[in-house]
Amino acid sequence: MKTIISLVLVSFVTLVSGSFVCAEEILRQEGELIIKFKAQSQSGEEDILKVLADIISFHHLKNTLEEEKEVKVLNSYAWANIHHVQIPEGETLEHMIEEIKKLDEVEYVEPNYLFHVGASTEAMDYQEAAVQSSASSGGTQSGQALASGGQSVTVAVIDTGVDYTHKAIAPYMWVNTGEIPGNGKDDDGNGYVDDINGYDFVNNDSDPYDDHYHGTHVSGIVLSLQDSLNPVIKIMALKFLSKDGYGSTGDAIRAIDYAIKNGAKVLNNSWGGGGYSQALSDAIVASYNANRVFVVAAGNSSIDVDQYTSYPPSYLIPNMITVAALDSSTNLAWFSNYGPISVHVGAPGVSIYSTLPHQKYGYLSGTSMATPYVAGVAAMMLSQQPELMHLQVKKIIMDTSVSNASLQGYIGRGSVEPEDAVTVASSTTPDTNIPPYEASSAPPSWGSVAQKGGQAGMGCGMISELYADNDDFTSSSGMSLFFLSWPLLFVLMLKIFLLNRRQKFVFRQF
């Protein structure tokens, strides 16, 4: 009996903390900063090294060449005048930020924040399934295959990578035709050597293979929207989340930059977290200016993101489509974030069957799974009408979605209707004039809350559902056996939580 009570207690504590698990700490990459110089300064790499070396030498009262070399520019983005730098050991980020801020040439400087693919309970989310016979191309259940035969559209899956050898994915991988595989050269001059199917920004190599499983599952959902007889979607694998599910602002920006420059029209972002990052916001604005559709997971903290900041959803850049997760009855999933301003539509996100690495399939739940559904719909629309503007794609997806009583007041519109969206898109005249980007009219308190890091929840993309007894996944998850022993209790507690929450909803609605 004692054991049961303590199990209940542990479950309860985990349940309570689980709601906030993504909000506990804003993680950052030690020793790294992201700096934006003002437009007029046009600082090259040499100038940045000099400026930073000056600060350091002031601090150390030394000015040797060796020390100057300790500062390393990891990446530079000319389109935004943003530079990702590594500072020497012994320098604190706080000191560097404080000093760099004083410089006239600098518009802003910020830490390199870390993101995570899901909550700490990720080991429970995986349930392997036998391959189901399915009419859809990817062998996944999420999408209804849409009849089409349009132009090929590339979807960048900015995630943990993709198992590009999976039989349901391999034929639909994006291929960089300007690159000769394995010759050790950057044949197309895009800055990356041998980048055939995308790139791995975590390990800095040309192999974006999925050493987690999240990105492979997401990719299968994107592909599930197309008709296997007339495939039009290509997956560009951009790995910026590690095998443990972590990634940084700097690498997210590189992935977004790569997607824009290499022709992906739709960017799938089933991840979230971090503090407010002006640099990440600038990268999303760059995708806006390049006419890309930027699809974002609302997050799984069960919070109102109109009230509490959660990134990326709270950036509110107009080409973003932020997606909530719905259950099979098109009700808001219990874990899904919501907010009628920040969250635009809902899509299936509970127990979604899709591809997993090593020719496997399985079920996962989360706004991570709802997001690629919408990315797939956007790609199908663009295959029919390639010149559509991002805001047209978004408007059609929102206008054709169907709301119901349970969604009203929680998400901006309703449940995405793929067939209607594609039909309307194919008969819509493209408007190629992209309006200039104007910052969203977010409540002033948002900015200040965000700057202080006082957010209520991060946009974790994936939630746990059912635990796996599969060795491949439990062993890599690093979770102890103890934690794997109470999922049923956990689910039971969640159901109690869900019931209570639903009742509150009823009171609010009446």
Looking at the Cβ atoms of 260 and 468, the one nearer to Ca ion is 260
CB 312 within 8 A of CB 320: yes
Looking at the Cβ atoms of 27 and 237, the one nearer to Ca ion is 237
Looking at the Cβ atoms of 110 and 179, the one nearer to Ca ion is 179
Whether a cis peptide bond, with omega within 30° of 0, leads into 312 is yes
DSSP letters spanning 423-489: HHHHTSPP---PPPP------HHHHHHHHHT--S-----BB--S----HHHHHHHT--HHHHT-HHH
State CA 445 to chain mean position distance.
25
Q: Which of 47, 107, 186, 227 binds Ca ion (CB under 5 A)?
A: 186
How many C-alpha atoms does 331 have within 13 Å on its Cβ side? Answer: 8
Least Å from the CB of residue 234 to Ca ion? 17
Stretch that binds Ca ion, among 188-196, 224-232, 251-259, 428-436 (CB under 5 A): 188-196
Stretch that binds Ca ion, among 35-43, 128-136, 176-184, 443-451 (CB under 5 A): 176-184
Q: What's the Cα-to-Cα distance from 115 to each of 246, 275, 311, 458, rounded to whole Å?
A: 6, 9, 10, 9
CB 84 within 8 A of CB 32: yes
Q: How many Å apart are CA 379 and CA 157, to the nearest integer?
A: 12
Stretch that binds Ca ion, among 179-187, 258-266, 350-358, 464-472 (CB under 5 A): 179-187
The contact mask relative to Ca ion for 192-221 (x = CB under 5 A, - = no) is x--x--------------------------
Least Å from the CB of residue 215 to Ca ion? 21
**Residues 6-25 contacting Ca ion, CB under 5 A:** none
- Going 137 to 272 to 243 to 294, the CA torsion angle's sign is positive
Q: How many Å apart are CA 164 and CA 284, to the nearest integer?
A: 26
Stretch that binds Ca ion, among 1-9, 144-152, 187-195, 498-506 (CB under 5 A): 187-195
Tell me which residue of 164, 160, 171, 173 sits closest to 213, measured CA to CA.
160
Q: Which of 70, 188, 327, 472 binds Ca ion (CB under 5 A)?
A: 188
Least Å from the CB of residue 180 to Ca ion? 9
At residue 320, φ and ψ (nearest 5 deg) are -85, 135
- Going 93 to 97 to 100 to 102, the CA torsion angle's sign is negative
Q: Which of 57, 75, 190, 403 binds Ca ion (CB under 5 A)?
A: 190
Stretch that binds Ca ion, among 171-179, 224-232, 434-442, 481-489 (CB under 5 A): 171-179
User: What is the SS3 string spanning 94-151?
Assistant: HHHHHHHHCCCCEEEEEEEEEEECECCCHHHCCEEECCCCCCCCCCCCCCCCECCCCC
Looking at the Cβ atoms of 163 and 195, the one nearer to Ca ion is 195
Looking at the Cβ atoms of 197 and 383, the one nearer to Ca ion is 197
Looking at the Cβ atoms of 262 and 336, the one nearer to Ca ion is 262
CB 233 within 8 A of CB 178: no
Task: Report residue 113 as tokens.
Answer: 């924040």
**Residues 405-444 contacting Ca ion, CB under 5 A:** none
Task: Report residue 6 as tokens.
Answer: 């303590």
Looking at the Cβ atoms of 195 and 465, the one nearer to Ca ion is 195
Q: How many Å apart are CA 23 and CA 458, to the nearest integer?
A: 6
Stretch that binds Ca ion, among 57-65, 189-197, 214-222, 369-377 (CB under 5 A): 189-197
Size of the site for Ca ion (CB under 5 A): 6
Least Å from the CB of residue 252 to Ca ion? 20
Looking at the Cβ atoms of 107 and 188, the one nearer to Ca ion is 188
What is the longest distance spanned by two Cα atoms in the chain? 71
The catalytic residue positions are: 159, 214, 368
Q: How many Å apart are CA 241 and CA 114, to the nearest integer?
A: 9
Least Å from the CB of residue 175 to Ca ion? 12
Q: Say which amino acid occupies 240.
A: F
The contact mask relative to Ca ion for 326-355 (x = CB under 5 A, - = no) is ------------------------------
Looking at the Cβ atoms of 188 and 244, the one nearer to Ca ion is 188
Residue 446 is a binding residue for Ca ion (CB under 5 A): no
Contact residues toward Ca ion (CB under 5 A) are 179, 186, 188, 190, 192, 195
